[in-house]
Amino acid sequence: MLLVENLQKSFDGFIAVSDARLEVEKGEVVAVIGPNGAGKTTLFNLITGQLRADSGRLLFKGENISGMPPYGICRKGISRSFQVVNIFARLTVFENVRVSVISHNKRTFNLFSRAESIAVSETEEILKSLGFSEKSDRISGSLSHGDQKVLEMAIALGNRPELLILDEPTAGMSPEETRDTLELMKLLSRERGITILFCEHDMELVFSISNRIMVMQHGRTIIQGKPDVVRNDTHVQEAYLGGADERF
| DSSP secondary structure letter of residue 142 | G
Where does this chain touch other proteins (CB under 8 A) — which range of 45-53, 202-210, 220-228, 238-246?
45-53
H or E segment and range at residue 198: strand 195-199
Which one of residues 86, 142, 174, 232 is an interface residue with other proteins (CB under 8 A)?
86
> Does 211 participate in binding other proteins (rule CB under 8 A)?
no
Task: At 96, give phi and psi (nearest 5°).
Answer: -55, -50
For other proteins, the closer of residues 156 and 213 by Cβ is 156
Q: Is 118 among the residues that bind other proteins (CB under 8 A)?
A: yes
Query: Residue 20 to residues 42, 51, 129, 191: CA-CA distances in angstroms?
Result: 10, 14, 34, 30
Contact status: 48 vs other proteins (CB under 8 A):
yes
Binding other proteins (rule: CB under 8 A), the pick from 53, 93, 136, 158 is 158
Which stretch in 4-12, 17-25, 109-117, 125-133 sits in contact with other proteins by CB under 8 A?
109-117
Q: How many CB atoms lie within 10 A of CB 131?
A: 11
In angstroms, the CA 222 to CA 233 distance is: 10
Determine the Cα–Cα distance for residues 56 and 49; give it in Å rounded to an integer. 14
Measured in degrees and rounded to the nearest 5, phi and psi for residue 84 equal -85, 130
Binding flag, residue 169, other proteins (CB under 8 A) = no
Q: Verify binding: residue 108, other proteins, rule CB under 8 A.
A: yes
DSSP 8-state symbol, 139? B
With binding defined as CB under 8 A, does residue 124 bind other proteins? no
Binding string, 51-80, against other proteins, x = CB under 8 A? ------------------xxx--xx---xx
Beta strands in 107-181 (DSSP E): 163-167
Residues that bind other proteins (CB under 8 A): 48-50, 69-71, 74-75, 79-80, 82, 86-91, 95, 98-100, 102-104, 107-116, 118-119, 155-156, 158-159
